[in-house]
Amino acid sequence: MYADVLYPAEKPAFYRLLREQLEKYAAFESDKWAALSNFSSVLKIAFPRANWAGFYLVSGGELVLGPFQGRPAVTRIARGAGVCGTAWREGASQVVEDVECFAGHIACDCASHSEIVVPLRRPDGEIWGVLDMDSVDVGYFTRDDRAGLEDCVRLLEKFA
Ligand code: SME
């Protein structure tokens, strides 16, 4: 059973605890969909101002919607399109302070004002999907979150 967790505000302590939580869901599960589903749930809970947390996975040359928490979202994103497709094409995380200022941002929920997208990588570096999180606040995600979430998604490497 998921015990409610009070996440600390201080980022290093927050990410230590978050990683510990996520590690359980990666280590004790062999099914990708089950693990990604619980990751999206834990992430949504851990970031109280996030209104969407989930995954798009590379399939048939595009990103296809995977497990998520939040409102229904666009199901397919081309390489280079939106924030997710940009992270895939550039091979780099995207921290978007204000989605209104990101040309080509794909709006799924008009409540979203900032966003972070972190690529999922195979051991050889190839990208097999992205983690996407949206927030109702402008500037919610920081460089610390980029580093922290990049570290967290490494736990998913075994599902690549
Ligand atoms: N905003 C994303 C689309 C996915 S939703 O945020 C869930 C983008 O621009 O790629």
Residues 113 and 103: their CA atoms lie apart, in Å, by 14
pTM of the model: 0.97
CB of 82 closer than 6 A to ligand 1? yes
Q: Sheet harboring 50-59: ordered strands across?
A: 76-78, 62-70, 50-59, 127-135, 114-121, 94-96
Domains of the chain: 11-159 (3.30.450.40)
Residue 53's nearest CA partner among 126, 145, 160, 159 is: 145
Residues 63 and 58: their CA atoms lie apart, in Å, by 5
Residue 110 in 3-state DSSP?
A: coil
The best mutation among 51, 63, 65, 74 to test binding of ligand 1, ranked by most ligand atoms within 8 Å of the C-beta, falls on 74
Residues 67 and 140: their CA atoms lie apart, in Å, by 22
CB of 55 closer than 6 A to ligand 1? no
- Both tokens of 96, joined, read 């978007």
CB of 26 closer than 6 A to ligand 1? no
Give the residue, by CA position, lying nearest to ligand 1 atom 1. Answer: 106
Per-residue pLDDT of 7-50, as tens digits, reads 999 999 999 999 999 999 999 999 999 999 999 999 999 999 99
Per-residue pLDDT of 58-93, as tens digits, reads 999 999 999 999 999 999 999 999 999 999 999 999
Residue for token pair 């979202």: 73
Per-residue pLDDT of 87-146, as tens digits, reads 999 999 999 999 999 999 999 889 999 999 999 999 999 999 999 999 999 999 999 999
CB of 149 closer than 6 A to ligand 1? no
Q: How far is the CA of 108 from the centre of ligand 1 (A)?
A: 6
